[in-house]
Chain A
Amino acid sequence: MDVNSIAKLSNLTLTDSQQKIFAPQFAETLKYVDLINQLDTSNIVPTSQVTGLINVFHDDVIDNTRLLQAPKINRGYYVK
């Protein structure tokens, strides 16, 4: 793994010591992760979520009742 390019993709800056220690740590982690390739998953459908729920919708209505009521507001938007 190219630690510097992944840091860039992750929008993170690494210290000098982190740059040194991360590469072998990632290698160790990925070696453990590679164990999953021992299992046969041909014809298995991936599971991304376990609820079985699909198409959970609600009406597009703004509800401010549970939001902070007293901050600075400019044209309906909170101001930091």
Chain B
Amino acid sequence: MLNNSTIVDALAGLRSGKFSAVELTQSCLNQIQKHNPKIHAFLTINEQALTQAKQADLSKPLGGIPIAVKDNFLTMGLPTTASSRVLEGYLPPYESTVTQKLRSSGAIIIGKTNMDAWAHGSSTETSDFGTTLNPWNIDYLPGGSSGGSTAAVAADMCLGAIGSETAGSIRQPASWCGVTGFKPTYGRVSRYGVIAMASSTDSPGPITKTIEDAALLLSVIAGHDPHDATSSPNPIPDFKNLKLKNKNLKIAFPKEYLDVIQPEIKSQILAAVKKLEDLGHTVEETSLIHPKYSIGVYTILQRSEVSSNLSRYDGIRFGHDRSYFAEEAKRRIMLGTYALSSGYYDQYYNKAQKVRTLIINDFNQAFNRYDLIINPSSPSTALKVGATENAAMFGEMQDILVEPSSIAGLTGISLPCGFANGLPIGFGLVGPQFSEELVLQVAHQFQENTDYHLKRPTTNIK
């Protein structure tokens, strides 16, 4: 079936006339119609998708390819809600740079995907519109906050998706849903038109079935944007060149990360490490600042920035008023307000920013000796629906492994490396700022020599 295809294969099929963009889009729409009522990956379907497919320009980099977009990216003509009732029915008056680039490259935005409300979470369960379910087992969560996007890709409802990561929100749900999730360096992809969570770490990125697809999507969405003052002026290399030149890289494995991993996934993570060694790389144990400190740093910095970013939702100029905020949003806004308030700013926000410097320096020292760092995305496989209830800081605790690299603005990837109890396990690599090529090349080498990323949950979607 056409919707099972990768982006790269679909482009070849379209351009050689094997099938049309309309047939491809229809195939995805059929899959959505069949499974979305149960999986609830999508909040909005683009009713113009088939019309746009009919007019698809196949000479463009993503011509005719159906892509799902997380609902915190402003899309003109499509409601954009960040899965919050505050923005229910909101139609944006402008387009995000990322979706503008997708449109200009010929992609069909097939729909907007579910997320934790305001991206405040690591499960998608805090969505004001109901949780998304994990296509591998619907008793389980897809992860978050980009859980709708990862579920949509895992269930072949689209050929690829866009997510965003503040601390783990691409990598963690990618690992729970058995797909490839890539977090670019902070500043590599424009945040203009992305509903802000923590402005100093938010990173839009691709969620795909393969590394080749991730590299292709990245090459479309990355780049300097004059509308985003934090976007990097660094030139964009050819991310699509996935040939690894140096076959003997030095890769670090922090022992503190191994401590945090649950026993059920340990053997598969170690098997993935062994695979890197079999491919010719040298893996060495190292020591980094324990990630438990990153939880505190990230909680303070993120919630402080959230309290500022969400102050614009006053219900006066757009959206509903602040009584529409659900519980988690209120918790995060309030803790952030407290951390920034007079008398507490030094103790919390300023201290967190200093520890941030320590973490950055720690990584810099590691990258003086190593090319990459092994960084699994999640301590475990997916958790059951309901796992987030009564947990005061579920998201921040879950993301312990990915918070250090997010705080430092590094780039990282999650890719499937096995299963435990039928649920996917995500292996990960982190590289220095602007080392996307190296991360993608090593990840591609791993995927060329394994087949975990080819597995699909089609038989389990009832």
Q: Which residues of B contact A68 (CB under 8 A)?
A: 76, 92-94
Known contacts A11-B311, A67-B94, A26 near B334 by CB under 8 Å: yes
Contact of B200 among A26, A36, A48 (CB under 8 A): A48
**Does B334 contact A3, Cβ atoms closer than 8 Å?**
yes
**Does B352 contact A66, Cβ atoms closer than 8 Å?**
no
| Closest chain B residue, CB of each to CB of A69 | B93
Q: Would you list which residues of chain A between 22 and 76 have a CB under 8 Å from chain B?
A: 22, 25-26, 28-30, 32-39, 41, 44-51, 53, 56, 58, 66-68, 71
Chain B interface size band reads 35 or more
Q: Which residues of B contact A37 (CB under 8 A)?
A: 351
Contact of B357 among A1, A10, A22, A46 (CB under 8 A): A46
**Does A71 contact B354, Cβ atoms closer than 8 Å?**
no
B residues with CB within 8 A of A = 76, 92-95, 100, 186-187, 200, 226, 229-230, 232-233, 289, 292-293, 295-297, 299-300, 307, 311, 314, 317-318, 322-323, 325, 327, 330-331, 333-335, 337-338, 341, 348, 350-358, 360, 392-393, 408-409, 433
Taken together as a complex, chains A and B put the C-alpha atoms of A37 and B323 apart, in Å, by 35
Beyond contacts A50-B360, A66-B95: 19 other A-B pairs, Cβ-Cβ < 8 A, are: A9-B337, A12-B322, A12-B330, A12-B334, A18-B327, A26-B335, A29-B299, A29-B392, A32-B296, A33-B352, A36-B296, A46-B350, A46-B354, A47-B354, A51-B409, A53-B230, A56-B229, A66-B100, A71-B93
| Closest chain B residue, CB of each to CB of A26 | B335
Q: Which residues of B contact A13 (CB under 8 A)?
A: 322-323
Q: How far is the CB of B440 from chain A (nearest CB, A)?
A: 21
| Closest chain B residue, CB of each to CB of A14 | B330
| Closest chain B residue, CB of each to CB of A25 | B392
Q: Which residues of A contact B296 (CB under 8 A)?
A: 32-36
Contact of B230 among A18, A44, A49 (CB under 8 A): A49
Q: Which residues of B contact A32 (CB under 8 A)?
A: 295-296, 299, 393
Q: Which residues of B contact A25 (CB under 8 A)?
A: 331, 392
**Does A36 contact B100, Cβ atoms closer than 8 Å?**
no
Q: How far is the CB of A17 from chain B (nearest CB, A)?
A: 9
Q: Which residues of B contact A67 (CB under 8 A)?
A: 93-94
Taken together as a complex, chains A and B put the C-alpha atoms of A66 and B193 apart, in Å, by 11
**Does B93 contact A28, Cβ atoms closer than 8 Å?**
no
| Closest chain A residue, CB of each to CB of B357 | A47
Q: How far is the CB of B250 from chain A (nearest CB, A)?
A: 24
Q: How far is the CB of B184 from chain A (nearest CB, A)?
A: 13
**Does A11 contact B357, Cβ atoms closer than 8 Å?**
no
| Closest chain A residue, CB of each to CB of B91 | A68
Q: How far is the CB of B258 from chain A (nearest CB, A)?
A: 20
What are 27 A-B pairs with beta-carbon distances under 8 A?
A1-B338, A9-B337, A10-B307, A13-B322, A26-B334, A26-B392, A29-B335, A32-B295, A32-B296, A32-B393, A35-B293, A35-B295, A35-B296, A36-B300, A36-B355, A38-B293, A39-B355, A41-B357, A44-B357, A47-B353, A51-B186, A51-B230, A53-B233, A66-B95, A67-B94, A68-B92, A80-B318
Specify which of A11, A14, A58 lies most central, judged by the most chain B CB atoms within 10 Å of its CB.
Answer: A11
Q: How far is the CB of B342 from chain A (nearest CB, A)?
A: 10
| Closest chain B residue, CB of each to CB of A50 | B409
**Does B186 contact A50, Cβ atoms closer than 8 Å?**
yes
Taken together as a complex, chains A and B put the C-alpha atoms of A51 and B307 apart, in Å, by 22
| Closest chain B residue, CB of each to CB of A35 | B296
Q: How far is the CB of A36 from chain B (nearest CB, A)?
A: 4
| Closest chain B residue, CB of each to CB of A37 | B351
Closest 8 CB pairs of A and B: A46-B353, A50-B409, A25-B392, A41-B354, A68-B93, A36-B296, A33-B296, A56-B229
**Does B353 contact A36, Cβ atoms closer than 8 Å?**
no
